[in-house]
Structure 1
Amino acid sequence: MAQDDQQARTFLRNAIAKHQDALITTTTALVRIPSPNPPGHTAHVADAAIKLLQSIPHAHVSRHETAPGLVSVVARIPSGRPGKRLVFNGHLDTYPLCEDLHWTVPPTGGVHKDGKIYGRGVCDMKGGIAASITAARMLAEHRDLWRGEIVITLAGDEENMGSLGTKWLLDNVEEAKGDAVICGDVGSARVVRFGEKGFVWIAVEAEGVAAHGAHVHKGVNAVRHLRKALDAVESLEGTVVDGPRDVGEAIDAAAIVSESLSGEVMRGRNVIFACRWVFRRMTS
């Protein structure tokens, strides 16, 4: 069995090399379709992804519009034999184009230069989507090498916290849930991050009393109260989360192909907070 596995791995590596040009072409095509979020209109790039997925043998593709113009895509590829489900997850939207940043190349041009592709979303994460589609195509062409099924979930909403993207798919599309998931987000073939951290929003509000600059002693500076609260919130960053033992061991085992601090990040707790301070008009 070990020898058969090694032969399969060698075969797949050779197949991947043959799909190199297709990977570049797919990435470029996706980058050339703008999908900034906000405003979060992903219908056009979703339709392009659907065409690519529909050309994969045995793929069952569905389109999900979770808000006007905000579209997610799911593709299921069965092996024809019972087994586990592997999900390739990604997001179709990108950070806003920010044309005012004086791009040296068109942000949606998909420019090839110095052996690289330039444009908004190449790394985050249309290149990752292209890799997932390419991998699915290759595996669909060689279903005899694996069992179970492959699912690709392309979320239309991620940059705006993902409530209408991956979360919506998990809540509403059964095949979006799997036994394992690979997300080709920002990174490289040399960096694999294992694990997933959640997030918590903390809203901090401080109230004060406004005063004239010549009579500051009559006022109450809300910012001072706010600073104390923010210091307390920031102290939570070092909180260690006691996760399942097998998960911790797997994170440690993945350290050789991960970033140096990845394990600490996955075990820690990062806090994102929104702050607001309110000044009351001083009354005489």
Structure 2
Amino acid sequence: MTREWIINTAKEREQELIKLTSDLIRIKSENPTGTQREVVDFVKSYLSGAGIEHEEVSVNPEYPCVLAKVGSDEGFSIILNGHVDVVPAGDLSRWNYDPYCGTVTDKLILGRGTSDMKAGVAGILFAMKLLKESGAKLKGNVRLHIVSDEETGGEFGTKWLCDEGYADGADACLVAEPTSNSTIEIGQKGSNALILKSYGMPAHGSLGNYKGENAILKLAKVLEGIGRLHNVKGRYSKDQEEALANSKFIASQKLQVKGIENVIDHVTANVGIIKGGTKLNMVPDYCEAHVDIRLPIGVDTDELDREIMAMIAESGVSGVEYEADWKNKGNSTPMDAAIVQAIKKNAEKIWGIDVLPAYQWASSDAKHYRNLGIPTIQYGPSNTEGIHSYNENVDIEDVRNAGMIYILSLCDLLGL
């Protein structure tokens, strides 16, 4: 009866979930330009109202985390993770509405953070509240990790929680980050910085064609060959081949660019920043380029190093070096993990469509849990076109269904 009560109550109180999402959106929690205090206090107040014990922890008081637990110390333990910080709204004139309006229309919820990822946060908070209210004897526990430092790298959020042992003993983790309703993210590429450095010889700018050695021009010749790094591929086990095929299909369908499916299993290299020179009238003696390198699962970093050195050598210039430590590798969760199968089963039941476990071309906080050996997935409501852009929104149907999928999956995993 407990499971039936939880499901029926979730359906009866779906407007509570929609309002919770709207209330979160109305709290401006930009990172790095704002404060997280108000939104974190809101989460704590919500948990208090639900009778859920919680605590605030932090290594940096500007980026507090909220922890909570429902259930027993024995049995299956699952972490629900979500971040409450959002990227800045940017140019307000480019928005069709106040980015922090939280307006609920007949089909949408409007505002910054609706998809990334306050709708997901609302879903996991609502699910946890219903489990607590039900009084169910869970065969395990649900642990909540709400963080406020994801959009600037997670150093003071999920990474710190994992480093400090707050995730120890978990058997699974659900990160309610935005995905499509038909995709469960079970792996991602690793994000790393490659810094190329070029050294030249200064001279007066008026003699630039004759004297000195221009470090900017030298590095430009090296960067002409950056595309060769895209030829380095990842390596996938037989058990990973189905998810890889799913991922390539999804990328080609979503991104609609010829050959774009290769973004999944090949290295990508984006020259994001170039710094060089000190004065207009001087031949620059130093230049550096920062390159965003994404590593697929199973990549051979020694092969990548060899390609970088070959790229420099083939440019024909001297005095160029590089640094990179490749600390963030591609990471994944097995398709047969309990959390993957529970979400897949219930998402397919709710949506009536095939839901594919797949790898993502970007990265997120999920990697910190996977690095501890915790099977981790991402699944959350979203309209991807507004994420990190203008006029962000989320479908009410997505929010409602995601909340129910979380509830059903938790019931399955915790023996209800």
Distance 1:258 1:55 in 2: 41
Residue aligning to 2:12: 18
Verify the 8 A CA contact 2:213 2:283 in the aligned structure 1.
Answer: no
Residue aligning to 1:37: 31
Is 1:62 aligned to 2:61, yes or no?
no
How many angstroms does 1:159 deviate by?
A: 1.0
Distance 1:53 1:234 in 2: 50
What amino acid is the match of 2:276? Answer: W
> Secondary structure of the equivalent of 1:46?
helix
> Secondary structure of the equivalent of 1:95?
coil
Is 1:199 aligned to 2:191, yes or no?
yes
Distance 2:169 2:243 in 1: 21
Output the TM-score relative to the length of structure 1.
0.79
Distance 1:257 1:87 in 2: 30
What amino acid is the match of 1:153? Answer: H
Deviates more, 1:274-283 or 1:36-45: 274-283
> Secondary structure of the equivalent of 1:204?
strand
Residue aligning to 1:91: 83
Is 1:125 aligned to 2:117, yes or no?
yes
Residue 151 to residue 244, structure 1, CA distance change in 2 (3 Å): farther
Verify the 8 A CA contact 2:100 2:112 in the aligned structure 1.
Answer: yes
Q: Which consecutive unaligned segments of at least 5 residues does structure 1 have?
A: none
How many angstroms does 1:162 deviate by?
A: 0.9
> Which one of the candidate residues 67, 73, 93 is aligned to 1:74?
67
Q: Which consecutive unaligned segments of at least 5 residues does structure 2 have?
A: 255-260, 285-416
What amino acid is the match of 1:136? Answer: M
1:79-127 superposed Cα distances (whole Å, 9 cap, x missing partner): x372221111111110012144432211111122351111111111111
**Superposed CA RMSD:** 3.6
Verify the 8 A CA contact 1:91 1:154 in the aligned structure 2.
Answer: yes
Residue aligning to 2:215: 222
Residue aligning to 1:46: 40
Higher-RCO chain (CA-CA 8 Å, sequence separation at least 6): 2
Distance 1:206 1:243 in 2: 35
Residue aligning to 2:276: 277
How many angstroms does 1:34 deviate by?
A: 0.7
Deviates more, 1:218-227 or 1:257-266: 257-266
Verify the 8 A CA contact 2:248 2:262 in the aligned structure 1.
Answer: no
Deviates more, 1:148-157 or 1:260-269: 260-269
Residue 116 to residue 282, structure 1, CA distance change in 2 (3 Å): closer
Output the TM-score relative to the length of structure 2.
0.56
Residue aligning to 1:161: 153
> Secondary structure of the equivalent of 2:186?
coil
Distance 1:52 1:184 in 2: 18
What amino acid is the match of 1:77? Answer: V
Identity of aligned residues (%): 26
Deviates more, 1:202-211 or 1:165-174: 202-211
Is 1:241 aligned to 2:240, yes or no?
no
1:134-186 superposed Cα distances (whole Å, 9 cap, x missing partner): 12223334464752111111111011111011111112242476222111112
Residue aligning to 1:185: 177
